[in-house]
Amino acid sequence: MRRSRRIIPMAEVGENQPAQWEAQNADEMLCRALTALPDTLRLPIVLHYMEGMDIRTIARTLRIRESAVKSRLHRGREKLRQSDELKELLEDE
């Protein structure tokens, strides 16, 4: 015998549900944009913005100069600004 599906009234879903979906969609778009970057640009961005590492720590972790970290962060941010996923996200806001 099949189980009947539970129907959830809209009142239970909550008023902020669309906002949660939009936030999840934005996270997915950012994730796609980040994965499209080459490792040399993605790693410094993830370590700096998501892991909270400073430039000196990133340089030691990746065994590159601090100036290289700064350059890669700059180039990575530029590539992200140009990515189709983030352009679409920014247009929606």
Q: How far is CA 64 from CA 68, 69, 70, in A?
A: 6, 7, 11
- What kind of fold does domain 18-92 have according to CATH? Arc Repressor Mutant, subunit A (1.10.10)
What is the residue whose two structure tokens read 């599906």? Answer: 5
The reported pTM is: 0.70
What is the per-residue pLDDT for 43? 97
Q: How far apart are alpha carbons 93 and 80 in whole angstroms?
A: 17
Q: How far apart are alpha carbons 60 and 51 in whole angstroms?
A: 15
Going from N- to C-terminal start, the domains of the chain cover: 18-92
Q: How far apart are alpha carbons 83 and 77 in whole angstroms?
A: 10
If one compares 73 and 14, the residue with the highest pLDDT of the two is 73
Q: What is the pLDDT of residues 50-81, one digit of tens each?
A: 999 999 999 999 999 999 999 999 999 999 99
